[in-house]
Structure 1
Amino acid sequence: MIQQDIALARPAELAIIVPTFNEAANLELLVDLVDKAIPHIRWELVFVDDDSPDGTAELARTIAKRDSRIRVLRRHNRRGLSTACVEGILATAADYVAVMDSDLQHDERILGLMLDRLKRGDVDLVVGSRYVEGGCVGEWSKGRAAGSMLATRIALKLTRTPISDPMSGFFMIRRDAFMRSLPYLSSMGFKILLDIAASAPQPIKVAEVPYTFRCRQHGESKLNSLVLWEYFELLLDKAIGKYVPVRFLSFALVGGFGLLVHFAVLTTLFVGLGASFGLSQTAATVIAISNNFFLNNMLTYRDQRLRGRALLWGWITFNLVCATGAAANIGVAEWLFGRHTYWVFSAVAGVLVSVVWNYAMSSLFTWRRK
């Protein structure tokens, strides 16, 4: 018992970062599995919880009280798997850091193999891969498997490092290698491995260990359309983010869709129903602004998402800050149309006038950081 206490008191050589959100049912199981998988390694497990309503953080804290190897980092008013991983890594002093999910789909039994491979000293990163010989995606549907392979092929074009599974959320990295990538991380979305590999100032030396992806036992999958949007944003940021802020790109993409909404309403009223151009343009502008507000709240400013009363107030302020832009939109469009400019070009000119104003003022007033 004394020897065990001394061993537990020594600094951990491996820190396992586990981001969580509503994963209370899996915590006890995960700790037990890790304990059995690497009994001869000095490890600590850091749960980084995004203020789960199911009591995940409280349960993790209870486990930590009886096991000093368990640590808990609870985040308030913050969301995101990538930022959770980054904060977890920075919160530990271990020289080797692993990242794995809390849903038990990653095979903890290869943690020892991954650490042994890193300790050889010739690689910076070891990836748990589903796509090398011996690995498997498990019981995925054909559609999900095909989607994963497509995302993998796209991701490989952004990294300068050959990784068979850059979309993996299961990997182990040397602290010094992570710190080299840290200043350049986008820290958005859910694919932190892709972010690290694409952000490294020099190509990272990588090894891969095969494993079979398991089925989730408890809780619900976090994969949804928003996750796909975040992945798309990460790709944009790594491709052109150093030239144009990715939030502006997102705002512009939403605005592009709003333009389609604008023309759909304008065409319906002006061409289809024979309403006056001024009335049609005004209605199209109001509807497009509301469309852009709700989409931006869900996508562009999801980390500052407005809810409840704040959502209504945000919609009001968004309309107020866009009022000048909307007035210019309508005024420019009508002025051009009155001079026999083709109605489509008149409408486009009016929309473009308000774009910069809308972005700047909505960032300042509607989704202002507190």
Structure 2
Amino acid sequence: MPDVELATDTSGGASLQRRGAELTVVVPTLNERANIDLLVARLHKSLLGINWEVVFVDDDSKDGTIAAVRDIASHDYQVRGIRRIARRGLAGACLEGVLSSSAPIVAVMDGDLQHDETCLAAMFETMRGGGADLVVASRYGDDGDANSGLSRLRSGGSRLATHLARLLLKVPLSDPMSGFFMVRRDIVDAVAPRLSRQGFKILLDIVASSPTPLRIREIPYVFGPRLHGQSKLDSLIVLEYLGLLVAKASGDLISTRFLAFGLVGSAGVVVHLSVLHVLLPHGLPFTVAQTAAMFTAMAFNYTLNNTFTYRDQRRHGWRFVTGFAMFAALCSFGVVAGVGVSTLLYTSPSRWWAAGLAAAAVGSAWNYITNSAITWRVR
């Protein structure tokens, strides 16, 4: 329990004052109700003698996770909960939790009990002693082990992702995919504007975004099996991770979201041409076939962007329909802008490709900026 001091009030009596937390443990959650009580109990046991708090950042779970957090918080002041509405993503949840803390040191760990909470005390002592800016619990150190908590496929994928991160970004970590680490809060404060809110791997983002090299220490741990609930890892997370690698390798000139938007747009071109190729042989006028192909491609692009690119701001129900109307209208303006620019740049038949590329660039930039600001704006 955090230390409690006695202070004398103006009437000569005594009042209780709690010291501020030295350590904040941030736990992002999505449908982890069954694990909340167990994790809090384990933290109380593992962090004796440390002024700590735990912040559960919940992405509006449907199983009552935030209600379980509030039940505990009503009688345990070391427990707090943040409920996020219409926002999704582990990285974004971690960032909100860290930025909500006033403690000088923050830890991030999962809520599924696969991370060994007994490591926290040793990590904290290393941080408090000034020996590191960042301490990472590694599954791949000399005494670490990920085999008990991961399937063979996920273990192989994790090692491949680790190799790519070390190859492309030169990060000095044996386990850059780890979701279990401790860091000085001021470091996160400094790089927060550059961090992606998408994806799962905020540790890699923090290290790659830091303008100066961080003093990093690693401690090995055994990655345990999940006791309750289901894993949130899916195929889209893999694509988001690859997007993060590209974004950081480019020095953030290409954002993860813009890269995804561009990939969807490229796929939409293929859909457009395919529909046009199918319709024209059936005797339809070119204008009719072209219009049908354009709207099919727009519907394809919108649906894929809503599912993947803006998954943390996904539109549902009637908002999905109104979102498509806005998307189509904004993209139509993008076509007009692209045609206008390409017409100005077109000077001769031999330079058609330059004008075409300019039109594509202007149209893509317009579509991305306007749809991010309007169709999928943060609510």
Asked whether the two chains share a fold, i.e. TM above 0.5, the reply is: yes
Query: Offset at 1:175?
Result: 2.6
Partner of 2:87: 78
Query: Offset at 1:143?
Result: 1.4
Structure 1 residues 357 and 205, CA gap change in structure 2 (3 angstroms): closer
Partner of 1:269: 279
- CA distance in 1: counterparts of 2:107 and 2:337, whole angstroms: 53
Aligned residue for 1:229, secondary structure, equals: helix
- CA distance in 2: counterparts of 1:184 and 1:323, whole angstroms: 31
Partner of 1:151: 161
Which amino acid in structure 2 is aligned with residue 128 of structure 1? Answer: A
Equivalent position to 1:201, from 204, 211, 223 = 211
Q: Does the CA contact (< 8 Å) of 2:147 and 2:155 recur in 1?
A: no
Q: Structure 2 regions of 5+ residues with no counterpart?
A: 7-16, 340-348, 351-355
- CA distance in 2: counterparts of 1:10 and 1:365, whole angstroms: 44
Aligned residue for 2:69, secondary structure, equals: helix
Q: Does the CA contact (< 8 Å) of 2:56 and 2:82 recur in 1?
A: yes
Residue 227 (1) aligns with residue 237 (2): yes
- CA distance in 2: counterparts of 1:16 and 1:207, whole angstroms: 18
Give me the TM-score of the superposition, normalised by structure 1: 0.85
Partner of 1:333: none
Query: Offset at 1:24?
Result: 0.9
Provide the aligned C-alpha RMSD in A.
3.4
Range 357-366 or range 212-221, more displaced: 357-366
Equivalent position to 2:129, from 120, 128, 132 = 120
- CA distance in 2: counterparts of 1:241 and 1:71, whole angstroms: 35
Q: Structure 1 regions of 5+ residues with no counterpart?
A: 331-339, 342-346
- CA distance in 1: counterparts of 2:187 and 2:309, whole angstroms: 31
Which amino acid in structure 2 is aligned with residue 265 of structure 1? Answer: V
Give me the TM-score of the superposition, normalised by structure 2: 0.83
Partner of 2:312: 303
Q: Does the CA contact (< 8 Å) of 1:161 and 1:203 recur in 2?
A: no
Range 203-212 or range 235-244, more displaced: 235-244
Query: Offset at 1:138?
Result: 2.8
Partner of 1:50: 59
Q: Matches of residues 129-278 of structure 1 in structure 2 within 5 Å?
A: 129-139=138-148, 140-240=150-250, 242-270=252-280, 277-278=286-287
Partner of 1:337: none
Q: Does the CA contact (< 8 Å) of 2:25 and 2:54 recur in 1?
A: yes
Q: Does the CA contact (< 8 Å) of 2:107 and 2:183 recur in 1?
A: yes
Query: Offset at 1:111?
Result: 1.0
Aligned residue for 1:115, secondary structure, equals: helix
Q: Does the CA contact (< 8 Å) of 2:169 and 2:248 recur in 1?
A: no
Query: Offset at 1:89?
Result: 1.6
Aligned residue for 1:219, secondary structure, equals: coil
Which amino acid in structure 2 is aligned with residue 262 of structure 1? Answer: H
Number of corresponding residues: 360
Q: Does the CA contact (< 8 Å) of 1:161 and 1:204 recur in 2?
A: no
Q: Does the CA contact (< 8 Å) of 1:160 and 1:197 recur in 2?
A: no
Range 360-369 or range 158-167, more displaced: 360-369
Q: Identity over aligned residues, as a percent? A: 48
Range 184-193 or range 28-37, more displaced: 184-193
Equivalent position to 2:303, from 279, 294, 298 = 294
Query: Offset at 1:164?
Result: 0.1
Partner of 2:77: 68
- CA distance in 1: counterparts of 2:42 and 2:196, whole angstroms: 32
Query: Offset at 1:44?
Result: 1.3
Aligned residue for 2:217, secondary structure, equals: strand
- CA distance in 2: counterparts of 1:186 and 1:123, whole angstroms: 24
Which amino acid in structure 2 is aligned with residue 89 of structure 1? Answer: V
Structure 1 residues 302 and 63, CA gap change in structure 2 (3 angstroms): same
Equivalent position to 1:89, from 75, 95, 98 = 98
- CA distance in 1: counterparts of 2:232 and 2:358, whole angstroms: 41
Structure 1 residues 122 and 305, CA gap change in structure 2 (3 angstroms): same
Aligned residue for 2:316, secondary structure, equals: coil
Q: Does the CA contact (< 8 Å) of 2:3 and 2:19 recur in 1?
A: no
